[in-house]
Structure 1
């Protein structure tokens, strides 16, 4: 598989994104999945606008959803030669929030299963990561990543430990 050409959802991601997300009047998951990855052109346009840097392209990202304010969730293709499912998941918010929210797709499935979306995982103001298990998403996570079971808090903590420089790297690209 060539990552630069891969615009198909992995089966595990497609299964998770097929489950409806409950916003619960602001107490649930603020996540709106896309039906497909953004095109390369749309990803480039978004990343240039987000950073204010027209010299960049968005080739290192596969955007698959957004929160209600327009922040994007994406795979960050930082592990050369590794499949998409082994790449970390990041969030770049409409108000400048950034964060690696999961180390890979398996962790992302458990983040969702525990009732936490990408926005909530990257929220800068100490988001409430109280476990709110979702039966349907837990079934997806059990099916595709049974050995990766952990709470949303643990998923976010492990991602931050593995990729501590993500926020700084992204901010250095901004103009």
Structure 2
């Protein structure tokens, strides 16, 4: 994929644009806001340079599509050469330096959401430990676009951590 690729969201993410993610009064929901399109190449590079403190990096390896309430961003990480966007892992880089791969691909990400976990919840150790809470509207989107990928949020998070154990080190190497 190149930085000039189409910035429209793939159909599974487009289907989520009408869903309001609720965090809830007890903080037991999903802290996530989905953008209507991927950030531009320029916006993504500006964000990644600010996040890393490195003026030499670009954001070419990311397609940012959402954020949490503190400004942490969620993106597809274009790490699998020649794989379609929907097969790329989903990552979250938080406003306070927290980061991680939250799902191995878009299908797994949909099931993470269906179980009541967003990207922020998947990288925060306290949030990861809470019980799953099925969200029927999100489960319907996951069943529609990824029926063969049904799994629990815990399985999604564990699988992502196993497949991409070096993500944090790779990002930290880019920091100034």
TM-score by shorter chain over 0.5? yes
CA–CA separation in structure 2 for the residues paired with 1:3 and 1:86? 16
CA–CA separation in structure 2 for the residues paired with 1:112 and 1:99? 16
| SS at structure 2 position matched to 1:56 | coil
Aligned residue number for residue 120 of structure 2 = 119
CA–CA separation in structure 1 for the residues paired with 2:12 and 2:110? 8
RMSD after superposition = 1.1
Aligned residue number for residue 98 of structure 2 = 97
Aligned residue number for residue 23 of structure 2 = 23
1:3 offset after TM fit, Å?
4.7
Show CA shifts across 1:86-112 (max 9, x none). Answer: 000000000000100000000000000
The runs of 4+ residues in structure 1 deviating greater than 3 Å are none
| SS at structure 2 position matched to 1:24 | coil
CA–CA separation in structure 1 for the residues paired with 2:163 and 2:130? 19
Aligned residue number for residue 6 of structure 2 = 6
Unpaired runs of 5+ in structure 1?
Answer: none
Aligned partners of 2:91 and 2:101 also within 8 Å: yes
CA–CA separation in structure 2 for the residues paired with 1:112 and 1:66? 14
Show CA shifts across 1:125-160 (max 9, x none). Answer: 463341100111111000000011111111000001
1:16 offset after TM fit, Å?
2.2
CA–CA separation in structure 1 for the residues paired with 2:171 and 2:85? 20
1:86 aligns with 2:87: yes
Aligned length: 174
CA–CA separation in structure 2 for the residues paired with 1:115 and 1:135? 9
Aligned residue number for residue 148 of structure 2 = 147
Aligned residue number for residue 50 of structure 1 = 51
Aligned residue number for residue 62 of structure 1 = 63
**Using a 3 Å threshold, how does the CA distance of structure 1 residues 139 and 114 change in structure 2: closer, same or farther?**
same
CA–CA separation in structure 2 for the residues paired with 1:17 and 1:134? 15
Aligned partners of 1:90 and 1:99 also within 8 Å: yes
Unpaired runs of 5+ in structure 2?
Answer: none
